[in-house]
Amino acid sequence: VSLIGGAATANNDAGGAVAITGGAPHGTGARGVITLTGRVAGSATGHVIPDPGNAGAISVTTSGVCNLTSAGAETRTLAIPTFVGQTLTLCCDVDGGDNVVTVASAFNQAANTTITLNDAGDSIHLIGTHIAGVRRWRLIANDGCTLG
């Protein structure tokens, strides 16, 4: 099944996979709405963002969960969100030392820009917003992380 430009309706009565590609990246330009009915499934790894390792940049191309592993005191960086509504959860999976994530802009009202995951299980949940014309992360939930 292919959907190309304009308004379209497609049925996949025979079952099987349907791939929809193309269009503008999230947050750019006006595009149509895709409505899905019936069962919608994701892959088992569809929302896992790989840990970039020490001194690496956490990918912000999609929403998801990034489980961080440290072998000692380590750092990561986090750019601004790619689109409004994007969600990101950072979780300390294996604790070999503190993991300090430096965010490109303040992510809460206290103007914090660092997140330290100290212990296994520490996690933080962020959402992409639009404030004063700029995309920014905002803090939704924090479980055990130190903010600075």
Which tens digit of pLDDT belongs to each residue from 66-119? 999 999 999 999 999 999 999 999 999 999 999 999 999 999 999 999 999 999
The model's pTM is 0.73
CA 96 to chain centre: 24
CA distance linking residue 126 with residue 116, whole number of Å = 14
pLDDT at 40: 58
Q: Mean pLDDT check: name the lowest of 4-8, 60-64, 72-76.
A: 4-8
Reduce the DSSP state of residue 94 to 3 states and report it.
strand
Asked if 92 contacts 99 with a C-beta cutoff of 8 angstroms, the reply is yes
Backbone torsions φ then ψ of 116, nearest 5 degrees? -110, 120
